[in-house]
Structures are given as structure tokens and as C-alpha cells.
Amino acid sequence: MNIQNIIETKVKEGFLAIYNTEIPTVEFQATRKEFEGDITIVVFPMLRYKKGNPVEIGEDLGNYVVENVSEISSYNVVKGFLNLVIKDTFYLNFFNSIYTDSTFGYSSKTKDEKAILVEYSSPNTNKPLHLGHVRNNLLGFSVSEIIKASGKKVYKTQIINDRGIHICKSMLAWKKFAPIGKDGQKETPESTGLKGDKLVGNYYVKFDQEYKKEIAQLITEGNTEEEAKKQAPLILEAKEMLLKWEAGDEQVVSLWKEMNSWVYRGFEVTYKNLGVDFDTLYYESNTYLLGKDSIDKGLKSGVFYEKEDGSVWCDLTEDGLDEKLVLRSDGTAVYMTQDIGTAIQRSKDIPDVGGMVYTVGNEQDYHFKVLFLILKKLGYSWAESLFHLSYGMVDLPSGKMKSREGTVVDADDLMLEMTTTAREISEELGKLEGYSAEEKEDLYKIIGLGALKYFILKVDPKKRILFDPKSSVDFQGNTGPFIQYTYARIQSIIRKANFEYSNPVSIKLHEKEKELLKQLALFPETIQQAATNYSPAIIANYTYDLVKEFNSFYQNVSILGEENLEKKIFRVQLSKKVADTIKQAFSLLGIQVPERM
């Protein structure tokens, strides 16, 4: 339904025919509510190409468009604005073309187009997923679904940070401090009933508590704080454990495998409850040595240079950045080396990959600028299509979270709290009469998770969020539950309708019907815009605008009470298409919609 393209072509054609002058673009805007019209052309910019009275130019172009565009019925000119009225038949034909299209808004895939790899989540295996991971996962998953809907092939992936000193801290704390049960074994997820990631996370916190005690003791013995941090027995043991892991020590590796397996099982539960998934997994324990070959290649081609101490660097000062270390003097890799190697490995593993999206917090903005630039300098064509989906922190009214101090908001606890909040508010409003206890619990989860996801995704990724669980579960305003409630209201209308659909051909459209159809028509380009900008917020706010438009329609136009049968059928079917579009848009955000509320 891109009437704007048709009009633009004819306006340019008319300008040339009338004034013998070409204009490069035509500026459009929505017609103001107080004037008659569906689309407005701004005449003022044309005065650069044809001096004259803007009202007269508007009249000339209005006459030309009405004569040459069959979809336009009339026009009016207000100062320098040409308001065009589009015929009802155009809107009805558009509606008939989309009503039975179950994939309306989605682009069909192009077989030869390169795929996009989207990385998100990428947790550490020393603690459970927390509120920051929730934003990461929701963004990455939603962007993947939006890119897919825009017509591209997508692979979802994550790299699990399963090695390093932080992992050894949890392992060492469990080994030293885990209580022994009656069976003579140290506690496990099975013996405690705790999810494995939570149990391991508890020992990460325990390490920090005991480490701080040792530091305090060493300070009382006359050491500086810096000396105490380095000399504390626990940190020395953790470093020794890491060296043993890197050397392949059988006992250390065995414990590492066991505790990581606990964490993976815990993550799986969280991912399932959150509604996200992955196509491929990478593990840092397998990738941390990658990239060294690329350093050799870069040295030979002059991308990198070696200092006297044997360390290898990339000089990016001419690109406005600094010098970046890519290999230590002892030959060991740094994070940048690993990320270079992992990106190259992924391009080998997925031959049709044409670009990668990294969903990582904005504290890593500089890291990804450097990474992408180095990969371009190494000559990889797909490096031109790399994107850092940078996002701001999620804050709580209580302040900043710290994993090692145990003050994080656990993702599982947050989802449970959202369900509880949805239950409390729903019961206060008395909206769920006639539901069984099981149906109510399912609905509370749908509402609670929908509130959480929508609250986070409606905000531009770059912006910081202050998350308040209670205000997110509101049945009024720009919230997930408000949109879910509108969807359920439409389902109620459809259930009460007892007739079959037929194509409307001769009805006169109400202004509110037109506005709703205009909003529906924006869905395909909204998906493309959201995919181009890697922004679920564009989909979220489109959906809210659609729901606002429907509620205005619902309040001003009789649907099931309409006496004219053809109008009544059209209004029910228009409502159904709005509901279908809400459901599709929300699926791109990973949000479910309930049939009843």
C-alpha cells in the first residue's frame, strides 16, 4: 500500500510538465487533524526550484494529481500544504489484499542473500543470569527475530565464558567450604534442591567474603591493601588452580567439567522460562587460543608490528584510536586476540555468514570499534557488516548490582516476581472471574513476562533503564499488559461474531477505519526500519500506536452493534487483522498474547 511512491512520481512528473523544471524529492507529512485529507505534500521546499505563490503551486499540483492518480478523489490547499484525499476503494482494496495474508509485514527470504549471525547472552559460568543478562537476551533474541522477518537468514549464537580466574574462585570456594552431607559427599544441586547456576554463584560470593577476611587480616599485620590483595592465600590458590587447569591437571579439569555442567543445566531452565534460544554455542575454553595464526598473518602483511620485548601491537592512531596490544611478550593471547580468532572461526563454520551482530553492553564500545577495524585491516569482506548492538545498563530503585557481593537481581527471581506482581494486580482489578487456578497461573506468567519484556524492549537500546517491576504491570498506558488486554478484547469480539467474512466493496469508510488501515499499512516498513536499526523499540512503539488507534476506533465506532451487515462484517474483520498484527509484532519481541484476559 505505498501510495506515497505513486504520488511522488506523479508530483515530480507534474512539476516538470507544468513548470518545465525537475525537483529531486517530494516532502510528505501526515495531514493535520483539523484539515480534510489523508496525506500532505509540503510545497515550501519546491520554491527553491520555482519562485511563486505556494498556494498557487499547490493548486496546480493538486489538479494534476487528481487527474493522473486514480486513487486520489480530491485535494485542498492550506497555505503551503497540499492535502490529498485518498478514495475509500484504495483502502478497501488494500485491506482485501492483506486480510488472508498470515505473514503480512514479513519479507520473503532471498535465497542467495548472506546470513547474519547474532551473538547474545554470553554469560560467565560462575553465577546465575541476572537483570543485565535479561536485557541482553531480550535484545539479542528480538533483533534476531526482526532481522528474520525482514527477509534475511539468521543464526543465533553465544560464547560462554567458561574459563578464567572467576571460574576458579567458585571452584576453590566449593572445594574448601562446601559442607559434607550424611552420604559423605559435598553438596550438589541435587542434594540441595538448588539450580546449579545458583549453587555455583553462592560459592563465588563465598570466595569474595572469605577473601575480604584474609585481606583485612593481612592489613592488620602491617601490609598495605594492595599487598594484602596480592598475598591473600585464597587468591594465590585460585591462580594456582587456573595454572593447573591450563596445564590439563586431571582433578582440576574434572571438577571444572562437573561444576560447569551444573551451571549449564541451570542456564537452560532460565533460557526456557525467558523464551530465548540459540542455534550454535561457542565456549571460551575452546576459543581462547584462537587468533594467534591471524596475528602471524597480520605481522607479515604489516597490519601488526612487534615491539622489542616481543609483544605484538596494532597501531590505530591514524584511524583516531590508539595502539592496541594483540599478543603479550610471553606469547599469550589477550581478549582481542581471542575475539579476532572467534570471528574468523565463525566465518569458517558458517560459510554463508555475511555479517555479525554483537549484543554487548556499552562499556565495551571501544573494544568493538578496535575489533571491527582490525578485522577490516586483515582483509575480511564480512567485516564491513559487523555491528555492535550496544545497550545501556538496567538500574533498579535500590541502586547498582554487584555479582561478587551477591547484590544482583537474579533473572529467575525477577521472572517469579513479575508473575507475582501480575497476580496481585489482576486480583485487585478482579479481571479473571471464571478462570481455573491453572489458567490463572498461566495467564499471570504471560502478563508478568510480557510486562518485563515490553518495558525493556520499548526503550531504545542505547538508553539506560530504571526498571520498576510494579509500574511495568499496568493495564493502562504504554505497557505490555495494556497491549495484551487490547488483543484479548478483540478476541472477545471475534468470538461473539457469527458470520463469515466477505470482501467489502461499496461501504463508505469512517474516519477511524481509515486511520486504523493507515497504521496497519506501516507494519512492513516498520519491520524493515527496526531490522536496519537493530531496534526492537521501533516494533514495540509501533504496536502501541496501533493499539491506541484501535481503542480510538473501538470507542467511536459501533462494531457488533452496527446495523449495516456489510459494515459490521468489515469492522469485525478489521479488528481481527489488528489483533493478528499485534500478535505478529509481539512475537518479534518474544512476547505472548492471551486469548482471554
β-sheet with 323-327: strand ranges across:
305-306, 312-315, 323-327
Q: Which three cell numbers stand for residue 133?
A: 543478562
User: Among the residues of 34-130, which ranges form H helices?
Assistant: 54-68, 88-98
For residues 123 and 146, what is the distance between their CA atoms, to the nearest angstrom?
A: 23
Q: pLDDT tens for residues 6-54?
A: 999 999 999 999 999 999 999 999 899 899 999 999 999 999 999 999 9
The pLDDT of 582-591, averaged and rounded, is 98
Q: pLDDT tens for residues 262-295?
A: 999 999 999 999 999 999 999 999 888 888 889 9
For residue 431, what pLDDT is reported? 66
Could you confirm whether domain 3-86 is CATH 3.20.20.70? no
For residues 390 and 378, what is the distance between their CA atoms, to the nearest angstrom?
A: 24
The pLDDT of 580-597, averaged and rounded, is 96
pTM above 0.85, yes or no: yes
For residue 398, what pLDDT is reported? 63
For residue 567, what pLDDT is reported? 93
For residues 83 and 29, what is the distance between their CA atoms, to the nearest angstrom?
A: 10
Q: Does the pLDDT value for residue 399 go beyond 60?
A: no
Band (pLDDT 50/70/90 cuts) for residue 404 is very low
Band (pLDDT 50/70/90 cuts) for residue 510 is very high
With b meaning 16 or more CB within 10 Å and e meaning fewer, what string describes 540-577?
bbbbbebbebbeebbeebebeeeeeeebbbbbbbbbbb
For residue 401, what pLDDT is reported? 42
The pLDDT of 476-498, averaged and rounded, is 94
Q: Does the pLDDT value for residue 402 go beyond 50?
A: no
Beta bridge partners of 314: 324
Q: Does the pLDDT value for residue 408 go beyond 90?
A: no
Query: Does residue 464 contact residue 392 with C-beta atoms inside 8 Å?
Result: yes
For residue 183, what pLDDT is reported? 86
Q: Please write down the HEC assignment for all residues of 427-451.
A: HHHCCCCCCCHHHHHHHHHHHHHHH
For residue 418, what pLDDT is reported? 92
- Average pLDDT value for the chain: 93
The pLDDT of 347-357, averaged and rounded, is 93
For residues 65 and 14, what is the distance between their CA atoms, to the nearest angstrom?
A: 8
For residue 369, what pLDDT is reported? 97
Q: Does the pLDDT value for residue 91 go beyond 50?
A: yes
Band (pLDDT 50/70/90 cuts) for residue 182 is confident
- Going from N- to C-terminal start, the domains of the chain cover 3-86, 292-332, 434-588
For residues 465 and 462, what is the distance between their CA atoms, to the nearest angstrom?
A: 9
- Which residue's C-alpha cell is 546470513? 115
Rg of the chain in Å (alpha carbons):
30
Band (pLDDT 50/70/90 cuts) for residue 112 is low
Q: Does the pLDDT value for residue 407 go beyond 60?
A: no
For residue 355, what pLDDT is reported? 94
Helices 54-68 and 3-19: crossing angle in degrees, nearest 10, is: 120
Q: Does the pLDDT value for residue 1 go beyond 60?
A: no
For residues 544 and 211, what is the distance between their CA atoms, to the nearest angstrom?
A: 50
CATH for 434-588 is 1.10.730.10
Q: Does the pLDDT value for residue 216 go beyond 60?
A: yes
298-304: list long-range contacts, CB under 8 Å, 24+ apart. 298/326, 298/374, 298/377, 298/378, 301/378, 301/379, 303/374, 303/377, 303/378
Q: Does the pLDDT value for residue 72 go beyond 60?
A: yes
For residue 292, what pLDDT is reported? 86
For residue 110, what pLDDT is reported? 62
For residue 537, what pLDDT is reported? 98
User: Would you say how long the chain is, in residues?
Assistant: 597
Band (pLDDT 50/70/90 cuts) for residue 109 is low
Band (pLDDT 50/70/90 cuts) for residue 318 is very high
Higher pLDDT, 438 or 544: 544
Band (pLDDT 50/70/90 cuts) for residue 143 is very high
Q: What are phi and psi of 111, to 5 degrees?
A: -60, -40
